[in-house]
Amino acid sequence: MPVRLKDLPRKRYGMPGNAACPGCPETMGLRYVKMALGDDVVLVIPAGCSSVIQGIAPKSGINFPILNIVFAAGAAAAAGMKAAFEALGRGDVKVVVWAGDGGTGDIGFQALSGAAERNDDILYICVDNEAYMNTGIQRSSLTPPGAWTTTTWTGKREPKKNVPLIMIAHDVPYVATASVGYPQDFIEKLRTAAKIRGFKYIHLHAPCPIGWRFDPGLTPKIAQLAVQTGLWPLYEYNQGKFRVSPFSRMYRRPEKRVPVIEYLKLQGRFRAALKNPELVKMIEAEVERMWRWIDALEKSLNPAEEARRITGT
Ligand SMILES: Cc1ncc(C[n+]2csc(CCOP(=O)(O)OP(=O)(O)O)c2C)c(N)n1
Ligand code: SF4
Ligand SMILES: [Mg+2]
């Protein structure tokens, strides 16, 4: 059912004066997670900005239960915690991993892949600000081509690792992409995922004003532009059924599509790339390549057949 803003809880989950930078997409995303899932939720957070946003123990700028855990172990710790809740007769508690792009696509990837393969009953959210922000903006495998970081001074040359597609290939029940620029879509996907037993993965695009070099007031706008240019497609793979989400359907209507350059030019991290036509072409080619994957998935998956295969009916 579509989410109506007026029905969402008004409770404060991030407290005033927490340690996030102004315009931080991670605090926005954390708030939406709690608004969507309610109180019986424990978060597991590997090292990253969200570990620091909480502040220094015994105080916390975030008022819900969190286990902070080493980088490599997010999904494994969550799977163990879920098993413990079940043993205690509290299988209703939702265990959610909230990990950065570095903690997901690089250092935590083996634990993520293992939990997915075992179909552990957890929800894993990658909050993707496209670099190792907490340690000073180093490149990750999810940094997009053309982007400046402190370890890619002239712009990254390699493509962005496509973790959501890798997760679909793990044959898990639920995979979706989302954006902090479209909170209702994100909240709907969180609620859909929460009703499914087994492994769920949501990849949240999270523009970071500090690392991407833009005005902190522009976080939602930059997030929306990523979707409107087709650079960040919103879609959902639910038990064998693949569908492009409504806000991304405009990509298929070229007259509605926003040129990629409109997204790039608002961000200081693409300043060098914008002077290099080859890099801009590479970024545009990446967008088209990603949409070819999406078209292929949409055409090739037979929803009824897939659902039968997964559920064994
Ligand atoms: C094994 C290990 N290596 C490096 C670090 C240092 N470290 C802490 S946070 C962080 C960056 C995390 O990046 P990401 O997962 O993308 O989260 P973000 O800070 O961007 O939210 C790094 C490298 C660490 N804590 N543990
Ligand atoms: S560096 Fe970016 S993600 Fe990290 S706290 Fe600041 S705004 Fe948030
Ligand atoms: Mg990051």
Domains and CATH numbers, the chain: 14-311 (3.40.50.970)
What the block records as the tokens of 191 is: 């609620």
**Which three-class secondary structure state does DSSP give residue 309?**
helix
| Ligand nearest the Cα atom of residue 207 | 2
CB under 8 Å to 86, separation ≥6 — which residues?
none
| Lining residues, ligand 1, CB within 6 Å | 47-50, 71, 100-103, 107, 129, 132-135, 140
| Ligand nearest the Cα atom of residue 219 | 2
β-bridge partners, 155: none
Q: Tell me the Ramachandran region of residue 8: left when phi exceeds 0, alpha when psi lies from -120 to 50, beta otherwise.
A: beta
What's residue 313's pLDDT?
58
What the block records as the tokens of 130 is: 């496209």
What's residue 311's pLDDT?
62
Instruction: Note down pLDDT in tens along the chain; length 313 residues.
Output: 678 888 888 888 888 888 999 999 999 999 999 999 988 999 999 999 999 999 888 888 888 899 999 999 999 999 999 999 999 999 999 999 999 999 999 999 999 999 999 999 999 999 999 999 999 999 999 999 999 999 999 999 999 999 999 999 999 999 999 999 999 999 999 999 999 999 999 999 999 999 999 999 999 999 999 999 999 999 999 998 999 999 998 888 888 899 999 999 999 999 999 999 998 999 999 999 999 999 999 888 765 555 555 566 5
Q: Are 128 and 206 in contact (CB under 8 A)?
A: yes
Q: Is pTM beyond 0.85 here?
A: yes
| Ligand nearest the Cα atom of residue 216 | 2
Measured in Å, residue 133 CA sits from the centre of ligand 3 at 5
What's residue 261's pLDDT?
96
Closest CA to 183 of 17, 30, 24: 30
263: part of which helix (H) or strand (E)? Answer: helix 260-264
| Strands 200-205, 123-128: pairing kind | parallel
What's residue 253's pLDDT?
87
Q: Are 166 and 116 in contact (CB under 8 A)?
A: no
What's residue 130's pLDDT?
98
Return the ligand 1 atom nearest residue 47 CA. Answer: 9
What's residue 17's pLDDT?
83
Neighbours of ion ligand 3 (CB under 5 A): 100-101, 129, 133
Q: Whose CA is nearest to atom 22 of ligand 1?
A: 135
CA 260/CA 291 separation, integer angstroms: 14
Best probe residue, ligand 2, of 49, 215, 269 (max atoms within 8 Å of C-beta): 49
Cβ 209 under 6 angstroms from ligand 2: yes
Angle (CA) 16 21 25, round 5°: 90
